[in-house]
Homo-oligomer: A and B are copies of this chain.
Amino acid sequence: MPNPISGFSKLSKSEKIDWIVSTYFSNKEDAKSLVTQYWNTDKKLQKLHDEFIENTITNYYLPLGVAPNFLINNRLYTIPMAIEESSVVAAASKAAKFWLDRGGFKTEVIATEKIGQVHFMYEGNYKELETFFNVVKPKLISEAAHLTKNMERRGGGIRAIALINKTKDLENYYQLHATFETLDAMGANFINSCLEQFAQTFEREAKNTLENNIDIVMSILSNYVPNCLVRAEVSCPISELKSKDIKHPEVFAQKFKQAINIAEIEPYRAVTHNKGIMNGIDAVVLATGNDFRAVEAGVHAYASRNDSYASLTHCTIEDDIFKFWIEIPLALGTVGGLTNLHPLVKFCLELLENPSARELMQIVAVAGLAQNFAAVKSLTTTGIQEGHMKMHLMNILNQFEATAEEKLKLVDHFKTNSVTHSAVVAAIKHLRS
């Protein structure tokens, strides 16, 4: 077994890699040259990427693809997507093209409220606490003024602070529950700084006023943002659904709606249904330098807000109109964080014509809806495997180090034959025999 190591973070990048390969790898030279093969040749650029996090040894490549032809509120976008899964970008592009001819996507930001909380314990009388809170509230805000000044100048800032009594759920437990408008910033640093200031003021003033002290447990923003909400929709007369893949639009629409209805009431299906939506959403979230863990957590919690975990998309057929939409919470930023730092994030934002956070919410929601449309369309018509395995074919061929010539032949062969892993292996063997 290797020995523990002290002071690892203080080693240079090369020393870190040397320690890793000498400790864990049998072919040390190959391991080291692989890691360095992924470094950028521009040393300054590489250093920038190294400094994003700690103990960086190299760059993990996620493919960056683009899906063109997204018509959103009558404006045409090409959407950047960073994702490792085959068929996601192809599905997005297909859905974009399909709806391009049918009026495109309509979107709307419903609200942009962010949330943060100071969690504390207090053993005294509630009335007394409530009175104290009402007195101290203006001071909470005024003492955070040095933090909120810039945000307020641009129209954002603290929107409200409420005292919440949670003692029914946990003995002595209360919150300061604050709401914020953070404009084009995702706002995590801003909100957390405000909250820590609230906690400081609140604790200090309580000491001077209340009989029983309050005991701050923690101050932190919430990634649950049910009031930072965006909606995206497509719709058209059922007859207009007719296309190369959809011969019987009536049948298609009914079956599609059944699949959505199932995801609305069956959690095992809803989880996978929403996972497919997140394929589209996370790919854009990543490409635009946002935090996909924050988005994922907020979205899935929102999906579980009613009795049980359910679909984020919905479908109706009324008066022969097929309508399909999504409503999801998305706290995104187009300034701050990585957005000003990662050159490819800047590139992706420029590709999207430098959207505001509100615009980006709408683009991302569309990416999710498009992905879901494509997935449910495949599922209810040809089945998911046909398209997915066609896209995965190249990966299998690469695994067997197929030559360019072999690839051409096999891609052609599988245009008319169904792709399974074993069928591809058999075809390669046959070709080489």
**Are A66 and B385 in contact, CB atoms less than 8 angstroms apart?**
no
Other-chain contact of A55, B59, B65, B217, B275 (Cβ < 8 Å): B65
Task: Tell whether A327 is near chain B: CB-to-CB under 8 Å.
Answer: no
**Are B31 and A117 in contact, CB atoms less than 8 angstroms apart?**
no
A340-360 Cβ-contact flags toward B at 8 Å (1 or 0): 111110010011010000000
Other-chain contact of A51, B83, B289, B344, B394 (Cβ < 8 Å): B394
Task: Tell whether A62 is near chain B: CB-to-CB under 8 Å.
Answer: yes
Of A192, A193, A271, A395, the most chain B CB neighbours within 10 A belong to A271
**Are A380 and B150 in contact, CB atoms less than 8 angstroms apart?**
no
Smallest beta-carbon distance A219→chain B, Å: 6
Q: Taking A61-B60, A289-B84, A398-B51 as contacts, is the C-beta distance between A1 and B75 under 8 angstroms?
A: yes
- The interface residues of chain B lying within 8 Å CB-to-CB of A117 are 268-269
Task: Tell whether A224 is near chain B: CB-to-CB under 8 Å.
Answer: yes
Other-chain contact of A222, B115, B219, B271 (Cβ < 8 Å): B271
**Are B4 and A76 in contact, CB atoms less than 8 angstroms apart?**
yes
Q: CA separation between A291 and B292, bound complex, in Å? A: 13
Task: Tell whether A158 is near chain B: CB-to-CB under 8 Å.
Answer: no
A363-406 Cβ-contact flags toward B at 8 Å (1 or 0): 00000000000001001100111001101101100110000000
In the complex, chain A residues 138-152 whose Cβ is within 8 Å of any chain B Cβ: 146-147, 150
Smallest beta-carbon distance A55→chain B, Å: 4
**Are A78 and B24 in contact, CB atoms less than 8 angstroms apart?**
yes
Task: Tell whether A67 is near chain B: CB-to-CB under 8 Å.
Answer: yes
- The interface residues of chain B lying within 8 Å CB-to-CB of A221 are 272
Task: Tell whether A37 is near chain B: CB-to-CB under 8 Å.
Answer: yes
Instruction: Please give the number of chain A residues whose Cβ is less than 8 angstroms from any Cβ of chain B in the complex.
Output: 147
Other-chain contact of A68, B5, B169, B224 (Cβ < 8 Å): B5
**Are B57 and A65 in contact, CB atoms less than 8 angstroms apart?**
yes
- The interface residues of chain B lying within 8 Å CB-to-CB of A1 are 75-76
Other-chain contact of A351, B20, B259, B261, B279 (Cβ < 8 Å): B20
**Are B259 and A218 in contact, CB atoms less than 8 angstroms apart?**
yes
Of A50, A67, A294, the most chain B CB neighbours within 10 A belong to A294
Query: Which one of A88-96, A204-212, A229-237 contacts B?
Result: A88-96
- The interface residues of chain B lying within 8 Å CB-to-CB of A83 are 53
**Are B297 and A278 in contact, CB atoms less than 8 angstroms apart?**
yes
Task: Tell whether A196 is near chain B: CB-to-CB under 8 Å.
Answer: yes
Query: Which one of A40-48, A127-135, A238-246, A316-324 contacts B?
Result: A40-48
A19-31 Cβ-contact flags toward B at 8 Å (1 or 0): 0100111000001
* Closest B residue to A347 using CB positions: B34
- The interface residues of chain B lying within 8 Å CB-to-CB of A62 are 59-60, 62, 286
* Closest B residue to A274 using CB positions: B297
Task: Tell whether A155 is near chain B: CB-to-CB under 8 Å.
Answer: no
- The interface residues of chain B lying within 8 Å CB-to-CB of A90 are 9, 53-55
**Are B297 and A60 in contact, CB atoms less than 8 angstroms apart?**
no
Smallest beta-carbon distance A36→chain B, Å: 11
**Are B5 and A69 in contact, CB atoms less than 8 angstroms apart?**
yes
A243-286 Cβ-contact flags toward B at 8 Å (1 or 0): 00000000000010011011001111111101100110010001
Other-chain contact of A380, B88, B169, B217 (Cβ < 8 Å): B217
**Are A344 and B58 in contact, CB atoms less than 8 angstroms apart?**
yes
Smallest beta-carbon distance A160→chain B, Å: 14
Can you report 26 residue pairs joining A to B where beta carbons are below 8 Å apart? Answer: A31-B347, A37-B42, A48-B398, A52-B86, A53-B86, A53-B391, A59-B59, A59-B64, A60-B64, A61-B344, A62-B62, A84-B286, A192-B383, A217-B380, A218-B376, A219-B379, A220-B272, A223-B275, A267-B301, A271-B297, A275-B293, A278-B297, A296-B300, A300-B303, A305-B309, A341-B398
Q: Which 8 residue pairs across A and B have the least CB separation, nearest first?
A: A300-B300, A304-B304, A224-B271, A275-B297, A60-B82, A218-B379, A59-B61, A60-B64
